[in-house]
Chains A and B, each alone.
Chain A
Amino acid sequence: MQKTLFDKLWESHIVDSIDGTDILYIDQHFIHEVTSPQAFDGLRRRGIPVMRTHKTLGTADHNVPTINQHLPISEPMSRAQVNKLTQNCDEFGVELYQLGHEKNGIVHIIGPELGVTKPGMTIVCGDSHTSTHGAFGCIAFGIGTSQVEQTLATQCILMNRPKTMRITVDGKLSKGVYAKDIILYIISKLTAAGGTGYFIEYAGSAITSLSMEARMTICNMSIEMGARGGMIAPDETTFDYIKGRERAPQDEAWEKAMGYWQTLKSDDGAVFDREEHFDASDIAPMVTYGTNPGMGIKIDASIPEVENIESFDKSLSYMNFQKGQSLLGHKIQHVFIGSCTNARIEDLRIVADFVKGKRKADDVSVMIVPGSKQVEAQAKEEGLDQIFEEAGFELREPGCSACLGMNEDKVPAGEYCISTSNRNFEGRQGPGARTILASPLMAAAAAVSGRIEDVRELIH
């Protein structure tokens, strides 16, 4: 029988089943400071070890400052939480890239860049954007702290198998349209709950033509339509990205791995529970206008005139937008370029390429937070830091930063931030903050003029 890639990988990781719930074996577990302390406490209470320390990797990212990382963290609770991660990893023998380490960074950025993330794996982390790793042809998804504890203790979790959905995007992308626009467009069509219960495979020529960085942006936001994860079958682009990375297989092991990885695709004729098709030429630069990522429009469209839905009205009232309004030319006060969605070197290059020789608007603050120490180092090596400095963009140290407002990087109440992150929920970037999600290029353009721009009119 023809099978989907998802079903093949899922089935090859089932240890056993109980009443339709599978015991799923996990090949790689990433942990961070916010969702792990209670899980380690659970192990301590039971007096059991981490079952497979070499399949577990930690990093501090959510609750860290993005300046002065060489100094002790000043906020006491954040300091305690980050220190707790270090203590737990020491005590249980888990490898950790702690704050300031040359390989530290956002968990979903460092996994791929170190070559830890490899095709065919099952990957979990106590973070919903674990779906990012699906770009390598993995089953990767976010879990809660109880499941973090289960994975630490048994290298398995109990899960019901999700349904499968294939989203095919064919055709050629227009100028100024990036992976972020593709995924915001898809979510705007399928809604913030439209993928719940499904695991997505993205396919089609517009997807396979993308770089690994761009594919990660797409898979990253699968959760924003409720899907547990999203994956893309590995191909030459994937293999080229992995080859030579620190933890990639070498020599003979590489050849063996390739022999397996090249088989990882959905069979011709495999049946998905649901299929969606989009045409790449329909996609334009996107912005969100509301308080969930499904509330997105093309930059030249107007906010829809939805009637009699209380939640819709509440959302527009929070954003202080009106039905029928265009966001083009709308003033913004803050620009955030960062997060596990868009803080890879390719994102920073796109921004630098646009702002080279330009300067930010006077009344706008611009923060660029690289996804990892390695991204930061690479940006400096390429001289991007100089371009940012001359443009008045502040290049900070890595972390989740203003994506979720856990640390001091917040947007003040009532002010607008165009953000390359993944969620525009109420208060996500700070109490009362108004978030407009967009691509790095859209964010860079808004930084320069202080207003939301249509980048298609600004690039040649």
Chain B
Amino acid sequence: MRPLNNIKSTAVPLPIEDVDTDQIIPARFLKALTREGFGDNLFRDWRYNNDNTPVDNFVLNNDLYSGEILIAGNNFGCGSSREHAAWALGDYGFRVVVSSFFADIFKGNALNNGILPIQLTADELDSIFKAIEKNPKCKFEVDLKEQSFTVMDTEEAFSFEIGSYKKMCLQNGYDDIDYLISQKDKIEAFENLQIMY
């Protein structure tokens, strides 16, 4: 996993609520056997028409907007547990997703793939959308160490929460699995005490 510490980037606004993982990556694209290449089909049915031509007014098809940060509406990533949603966002180039609320499984999947989900208040989210509306090239700074998200045009800074363990993993690019494997003795000791029916 690629470490994540400090990111300065423009952002892509997606002010839609309840974006579910079927929108992020539709089920018909889940047939692959690897984690790569899902970015091409990120938001497929919003991004392309049935004849595969780009949908003009969808934000990913608008040259004004680009960057490593996605700013999304409330309850982002609800629905299916497919980690392919996190892979698609990462493969496309997003490293940070900002919303006022994330679905649980998506949040965990993002963190396990080096993508930082930043939860801010509804008002803070709104001010970010406004800043992008005013200047689509507005830059934002994510400082994981300080747990701050700054609108560089206005110098407004918002703080966000992240568990210390997950923060350490992201900063160093560690997977949960490395840690769990290192705990194998404890796990086996636990099993020996467990009564199973």
Contacts and interface: CB of A to CB of B under 8 A. Distances in A.
A437 B176 CA distance: 37
Contact-size category for B: 35 or more
A154 B18 contact: no
Contacts of B184: 154
A158 B163 CA distance: 12
A193 B22 contact: no
Interface stretch (A336-344, A355-363, A422-430): A422-430
A197 B74 CA distance: 14
A196 B103 contact: yes
A65 to B, nearest CB: 13
A144 B86 contact: yes
B154 interface: no
B71 to A, nearest CB: 15
Contact-size category for A: 35 or more
Nearest to A292: B18
B62 to A, nearest CB: 17
Interface in B166-190: 166, 175-177, 179-181, 183-184, 186-187, 190
Interface stretch (A37-45, A271-279, A371-379): A37-45
B45 A146 contact: no
Given A34-B30, A120-B197, A428-B22, A128 B81 contact: yes
Nearest to A37: B33
B28 A158 contact: no
Interface string B1-41: 00000000000000111101011001110111111000000
B194 interface: yes
B53 interface: no
Contact of A196 (B15, B45, B104, B112): B104
Given A27-B196, A256-B197, A292-B20, A16 B183 contact: yes
A192 B18 contact: yes
A78 interface: yes
Contacts of B150: none
Given A128-B105, A192-B75, A142 B81 contact: yes
Interface stretch (A17-25, A92-100, A321-329): A17-25
A43 B169 CA distance: 20
Contacts of A145: 35, 83-84, 109
A425 B183 CA distance: 40
Nearest to A120: B197
B79 interface: yes
Contacts of A223: 79, 105
A220 B196 CA distance: 25
A406 interface: yes
A228 interface: yes
Given A292-B78, A425-B22, A228 B187 contact: no
A147 interface: yes
Contact of A19 (B15, B163, B195): B163
Given A25-B191, A77-B31, A150 B180 contact: yes
A191 B85 CA distance: 22
Interface in A181-210: 192-193, 196-197
Interface string A150-192: 1001111111101000000000000000000000000000001
Contact of B190 (A15, A160, A162, A310): A15
Interface in A93-126: 118, 120, 126
A38 B73 contact: no
A81 interface: yes
B23 A19 contact: no
A41 B197 CA distance: 32
Contacts of A153: 177, 180-181
Interface in A305-334: 309-311, 314
Contacts of B112: 144, 146-147
B164 interface: yes
6 contacts: A21-B165, A41-B33, A126-B81, A147-B176, A257-B197, A428-B27
Given A145-B84, A154-B177, 11 more contacts: A15-B186, A16-B183, A19-B165, A51-B187, A126-B83, A146-B113, A193-B74, A193-B78, A406-B28, A423-B79, A425-B20
Nearest 8 CB-CB pairings of A with B: A144-B83, A257-B197, A144-B109, A142-B81, A146-B112, A77-B31, A193-B75, A128-B81
